[in-house]
Amino acid sequence: MIFELNGVNVIAELTTTVTLLDLLRTDFGLTSVKKGCEQGECGACTVLLDGMPVCSCLVLAPQVEGKRVTTIEGLSENPLMKELRDAFMENGAVQCGFCTPGMLLSSFALLRDNRHPTEDEVKVAIEGNICRCTGYVKIIEAILDAAEKISPD
Ligand code: FES
Ligand code: FES
């Protein structure tokens, strides 16, 4: 099976039915994609599939054939992701960090499509990402801070 992973066409040998989550972590070593509930509840396994956030634990690997998968590693040089990363750091939004990659990918998709989100829109964008530290205030502040920096007007 061939698909695009972080901008590069890759081949995956699928010998069994495997989730995208396990494929990314095991075959490609992308451990930023966290393994949490494996039931689509926590969002720790969020990746972008053709640009949209999905829970990779709910996607079977063969389903991504010919599609574009992006993890946080693939956005390391992206200016918008850099703003988000900096804002998370400056606002103390990285607490234990387990949810952080998924939070960043969901908020990246939000700010990519909506440069001036309201607080409610931010809450909707990350509603599928559970922070076990219950520290949503700083995370929401960080996302709004990044939005302000990329679009100050
Ligand atoms: S591990 Fe996929 S949603 Fe929790
Ligand atoms: S920082 Fe989100 S689970 Fe701890």
Can you list the domains of the chain with their CATH numbers? 2-74 (3.10.20.30), 77-150 (1.10.150.120)
Closest CA to 34 of 24, 43, 44: 44
Task: Select from 13, 2, 16, 17 the least CA-distant residue to 67.
Answer: 2
pTM (two decimals): 0.95
Pocket test for ligand 2, best of 32, 91, 98 (most atoms within 8 A of CB): 98
C-beta neighbour count of 65 within 10 angstroms:
11
Distance from Cα 99 to the centre of ligand 2, integer Å: 5
pLDDT in tens, 65-122: 999 999 999 999 999 999 999 999 999 999 888 999 999 999 999 999 999 999 999 9
Q: Among 32, 37, 85, 96, which is best to mutate for testing ligand 2, by the most ligand atoms less than 8 A from CB?
A: 96
Q: Which residue's alpha carbon is at the smallest distance from atom 3 of ligand 1?
A: 40
- The closest of 68, 74, 66, 44 to 56, measured between CA atoms, is 44
44 is written with which tokens? Answer: 């720790």
Q: What is the whole-number distance in angstroms between the Cα of residue 117 and the centre of ligand 2?
A: 22
The residues facing 11 across adjacent strands are: 2
Q: What is the pLDDT of residues 119-150, one digit of tens each?
A: 999 999 999 999 988 789 999 999 999 999 99
CA of 134 to the centre of ligand 2 (A): 7
Q: Which two tokens mark 112?
A: 């990519």
